[in-house]
Structure 1
Amino acid sequence: MKNIIYTLTLFFLVSLQGTAQIKTWENPKRNIVVKTVQWEVNDIIYKVKGDVKNPFEKQVYAVVSGEEGEQRVPVFFNGNREWVFRYSSAKIGEKIFVIESDIKELNHKKGKIVVGANEKQNRHGGVVLNESDPQHFYYEDGTHYFNLAFECDWLFALDYGQKDIPKTEHLLSLVEKYGFNQIVMNVYSYDVSWPKDKRLLEHPEHEYGSREDIYPFLGSNSKPDYSALNIDFFKHFDKVISNMHDREIVSHLMIYVWNKLVEWPDMESKADNMYYDYIVKRYQAFPNIIWDVSKEALHYTRATKEYILERIERTRKLDTYHRLVSVHDYGFCVNNPDKVDFISTQNWKHTLYQHMLEAKHKFPNKPIFNIEHGGYEASPYVVFPGAYDDAEACLRRNYMCVFAGGYTTYYWQGTSWNAVIHNPFEQPDNFDKPHFEYFKHMRTLFDTVNFQNCKPLEKYNTAGYNLTNEKDGIVLLYAPKENNWVGAARIIKDKFDHTHATKQWFNTITGEFTAEEKYEKKALEFWDWRPWKGEADAVLIIRGLKKK
């Protein structure tokens, strides 16, 4: 009874300490009963009495049995003689578990897990594929996942070494507020190789490159010690990932990066495997994880195709939750589509829309995710200018990806790389502020038209881009601000009865919708001029169509 009271007391204390918390069950002395709900992350922590030699090499598993079958969940070393069984479940019901280990104190530890129904309104589980709709992402509960990503490679570095993570929480609150639901991020990066803006020297609080106190191994990036991992690094990283989970933000986790000056151990060395395996073991229980082997995996001389293939297979072997896996390299995905769960593309070309369409047609059974399209919105510092830095041009490129039926990523130079301004709207007036609101508007638009039912019927493009939802009777037409008009007469003639149809316009800059009015099909639609010409790109939305 004493142990039960202690465990429950600990749980309530943990729950009251803030948002970014994992439900913790500390050092149970007997067969424990864990009560949880769907997609809640639980740490069952066992502390052994003696030191374990080579703890990162130990194979320790919790074998979980339930109605859905058996699951072998890795148990990971957490320093200070602690071993953690981290667990979450998508399935409701009772399960039993037993620890299998050659560590005597852990072997045959047992318990029961009782999983109740999820009660959090905006929680839908991990991101998965859907056999009946293979080009779109879904959550485990069947809800569509509109993948709208935000790049922040150095997120791990905010608040590093501190007990709490206020900077991280502030930035994540903005990501959440403005409708982004994924962060493309590195486990670790050291610094950039390109020139740095001299203005950044005046604001060292925004510079996170070349931090010698942050490293996933012992030692530092300049003087690495590959004999063991830095547990404190991963304890901090837990706070970041769990705060994202609380906010329903997916971590698109790039385990390696080759062009950020990291001193990695040799490929497939003992240290390399220790690092890679540990990440997969420690973070797979988080429903908000998507694996990416490496940023720009084959663009540099570090990795080979064979190495990336081996890392993918390694991930799938270790990950008992079967989280999605991809590689930040379009060439690799093109040549190995059966090895990845979705196609990651990187394309800076002016003809981005056409290339996204080509990818969609080439891979009809995979979602297409543009992870980097050369649009890097300007910030107070020129961090990486890319091909486009004008905010509206960057926004348009994101719409090109979506109107081609794919998913997209937003970059702001003030958060994407080594310079991280975690509170951009609290900076002086002479600091360039990001236009996060543009993407809040985008999210609002596509939440209203059931994006998962939309298809780019490019033969019906007129002066802009077409996206058609035949199931729900909706036609969208994207018009760049220079365009006079976009027309739907041809597609409506071919596919729909428009007797009860309405039309309205959407302003991509302000998020404004015009009032709905009756749609009248005209032969010469270019006389029907669009609003906000020369001021903003706009989307014509025709609803209430009935399929012929």
Structure 2
Amino acid sequence: QHHAHDFALKGDTKHETPFFVDLRAAFTHESGERIENLPGFYDGDGTWKVRFAPNLEGKWSGVTASNDPKLDGVKLPAVECVANDNRAVCGVMGIDPEYSHRFAWSDGTPYIYLGFECDWLFAYHQRAGDEKFRKAMDLLDERGFNCIIMNVYAHLGFSRDQDPAEHFFDPPDMYVFEGTNDQPDHSRLNLEFFKDFDQVMSYLHAKGIVVHLMIQVQNKEVKWPRRMTAEDDMYWRYVVARYQAYGNIVWDTSKESYNLLNDLAEHAYVLDRINLIRTNDAYAHLVTVHDSENESWGSVSEADEASDFISDQIHFGEPDGYNREAIRRWRDRTATGNLA
């Protein structure tokens, strides 16, 4: 219960760009409850996967739908979901249904967000390896942090010249697309990158640490696909498909999202990305936008209104400032009802 299980499907249809194949699955519990429209993803070597996390104990059956005839209408092996035995795993993190200014897990366990920003964690895992990564995450857990704020990918700008060599993680060892950041192939994703990222996600999920995942970043010199193109949509859908089965996910459209507003003079792209996430997320994880407008603290933008909670970056010179800001926001809470 609440743990990810992968169903692998082999397809022998030749696709020039297999990442554009649409694969979805619907799962039915023996009680009749359904999890529908769960997207699958390409995982290399003619293999597509559907990553499923049952929310109820008991027998589940599933069937696929796809624009590839070989992947369409496939009955997936039935699974018997047993009780969750990991007390750190409590389902999907969301808004408390009884009190909209609080977070809670889907099993009813309250959640108080205490985050640690580690934007480059994906790159640290690539370079330091799984053992050092786990020790670092265990230390954060021991110190009381229950959320990691991180990027899917960033290219430059998260190491300093005075840092020791072992603390340099940019550019990362693996690029998120095929090719390089200078000469990217945006029609294909780097599957080794995502298989490495799977290890990060799996361990943080097992520890009950929420991953506040920024799908893009706008100020770290990444050559993203041109906005609103098929390649752009493919990347976003792939991230959502591959990681939504982990109940500890919070989607964030972009770190430093105000750069999009400065570039485009409107929130249309961010609003479209929010809609894309929600359309493709069968588990309805929370969605937010990091810094939707520059220095917008205490105000609510159009992108904030569309979010499940507001995510602003604020700097104060002394710790008391954060407490005062929290009190002010509580006092002046807006019609959205959800501030973080």
CA distance in 2, matches of 1:214, 1:171: 21
Q: Which amino acid aligns with 1:65?
A: T
Query: Is contact 2:333–2:339 with CA below 8 Å preserved after alignment?
Result: no
Structure 1 equivalent of residue 153 of structure 2 = 188
- Evaluate the alpha carbon distance shift between residue 159 and residue 141 of structure 1 in structure 2; reply closer, same or farther with a 3 A threshold: closer
TM-superposed deviation, 1:262: 0.9
Does residue 153 (structure 1) correspond to residue 124 (structure 2)? The answer is: no
CA distance in 2, matches of 1:197, 1:57: 38
Structure 2 equivalent of residue 238 of structure 1 = 198
TM-superposed deviation, 1:120: 1.7
Query: Is contact 1:343–1:366 with CA below 8 Å preserved after alignment?
Result: no
- Evaluate the alpha carbon distance shift between residue 205 and residue 236 of structure 1 in structure 2; reply closer, same or farther with a 3 A threshold: same
Structure 1 equivalent of residue 327 of structure 2 = 357
Determine helix, strand or coil for the equivalent of 2:154. coil
Q: Which of residues 42, 49, 53 in structure 1 aligns to 2:12?
A: 49
Query: Is contact 2:305–2:336 with CA below 8 Å preserved after alignment?
Result: no
Q: Which of residues 245, 265, 272 in structure 2 aligns to 1:310?
A: 272
CA distance in 2, matches of 1:197, 1:209: 10
Determine helix, strand or coil for the equivalent of 1:80. coil
- Evaluate the alpha carbon distance shift between residue 134 and residue 57 of structure 1 in structure 2; reply closer, same or farther with a 3 A threshold: same
Q: Which amino acid aligns with 1:48?
A: G
- Provide Cα deviations, 1:250-269, integer angstroms capped at 9, x if missing partner: 11000011111111121112
- Evaluate the alpha carbon distance shift between residue 96 and residue 345 of structure 1 in structure 2; reply closer, same or farther with a 3 A threshold: same
TM-superposed deviation, 1:161: 7.3
- Evaluate the alpha carbon distance shift between residue 161 and residue 174 of structure 1 in structure 2; reply closer, same or farther with a 3 A threshold: closer
- Evaluate the alpha carbon distance shift between residue 102 and residue 364 of structure 1 in structure 2; reply closer, same or farther with a 3 A threshold: closer
Determine helix, strand or coil for the equivalent of 2:275. helix
TM-superposed deviation, 1:49: 3.3
TM-superposed deviation, 1:92: 2.4
CA distance in 2, matches of 1:335, 1:232: 37
TM-score by length of 2: 0.89
Q: Which of residues 205, 218, 241 in structure 1 aligns to 2:178?
A: 218
Does residue 86 (structure 1) correspond to residue 33 (structure 2)? The answer is: no
- Provide Cα deviations, 1:270-312, integer angstroms capped at 9, x if missing partner: 2211111110111111111110000121145445411000000
Determine helix, strand or coil for the equivalent of 1:160. helix
Query: Is contact 1:90–1:140 with CA below 8 Å preserved after alignment?
Result: no
Structure 2 equivalent of residue 327 of structure 1 = 289
CA distance in 1, matches of 2:97, 2:9: 39
Query: Is contact 2:240–2:281 with CA below 8 Å preserved after alignment?
Result: yes
- Evaluate the alpha carbon distance shift between residue 89 and residue 338 of structure 1 in structure 2; reply closer, same or farther with a 3 A threshold: farther
In the TM superposition, 1:128-147 aligns within 5 A as 128-147=94-113
CA distance in 2, matches of 1:179, 1:90: 27
TM-superposed deviation, 1:184: 0.1
TM-superposed deviation, 1:353: 3.6
CA distance in 1, matches of 2:127, 2:170: 15
CA distance in 1, matches of 2:102, 2:114: 12
Q: Which amino acid aligns with 1:252?
A: H
CA distance in 1, matches of 2:127, 2:195: 10
Does residue 208 (structure 1) correspond to residue 173 (structure 2)? The answer is: no
- Evaluate the alpha carbon distance shift between residue 218 and residue 197 of structure 1 in structure 2; reply closer, same or farther with a 3 A threshold: closer
In the TM superposition, 1:36-435 aligns within 5 A as 38-66=1-29, 67-110=32-75, 111-160=77-126, 165-192=130-157, 197-200=160-163, 203-211=164-172, 213-299=173-259, 301-302=262-263, 304-329=266-291, 331=293, 334-336=300-302, 337-349=304-316, 351-360=321-330, 361-363=332-334, 366-369=337-340
- Evaluate the alpha carbon distance shift between residue 161 and residue 59 of structure 1 in structure 2; reply closer, same or farther with a 3 A threshold: farther
- Provide Cα deviations, 1:427-485, integer angstroms capped at 9, x if missing partner: xxxxxxxxxxxxxxxxxxxxxxxxxxxxxxxxxxxxxxxxxxxxxxxxxxxxxxxxxxx
CA distance in 2, matches of 1:158, 1:167: 9
- Provide Cα deviations, 1:325-382, integer angstroms capped at 9, x if missing partner: 001025488123441111212222465444333322323663432xxxxxxxxxxxxx
TM-superposed deviation, 1:114: 2.2
TM-superposed deviation, 1:182: 0.7
Query: Is contact 2:125–2:200 with CA below 8 Å preserved after alignment?
Result: no
CA distance in 1, matches of 2:218, 2:150: 13
Query: Is contact 2:88–2:206 with CA below 8 Å preserved after alignment?
Result: no
CA distance in 2, matches of 1:247, 1:357: 30
Query: Is contact 1:128–1:139 with CA below 8 Å preserved after alignment?
Result: yes
Q: Which amino acid aligns with 1:238?
A: D
Query: Is contact 1:135–1:365 with CA below 8 Å preserved after alignment?
Result: no
Residue correspondences, number = 326
Determine helix, strand or coil for the equivalent of 1:157. helix
TM-superposed deviation, 1:141: 0.8
TM-superposed deviation, 1:157: 1.0
Structure 2 equivalent of residue 459 of structure 1 = none
Q: Percent identity?
A: 34
CA distance in 1, matches of 2:166, 2:156: 15
- Provide Cα deviations, 1:478-527, integer angstroms capped at 9, x if missing partner: xxxxxxxxxxxxxxxxxxxxxxxxxxxxxxxxxxxxxxxxxxxxxxxxxx
Query: Is contact 1:134–1:364 with CA below 8 Å preserved after alignment?
Result: no
Structure 2 equivalent of residue 532 of structure 1 = none
TM-superposed deviation, 1:96: 1.7
CA distance in 1, matches of 2:105, 2:233: 30
Deviates further, 334-343 or 130-139? 334-343
Unaligned runs of 5+ in 1: 1-37, 370-548
Query: Is contact 1:137–1:367 with CA below 8 Å preserved after alignment?
Result: no
- Provide Cα deviations, 1:204-232, integer angstroms capped at 9, x if missing partner: 22101124x42111111122122211111
TM-score by length of 1: 0.56
Q: Which amino acid aligns with 2:221?
A: L
Q: Which amino acid aligns with 1:117?
A: A
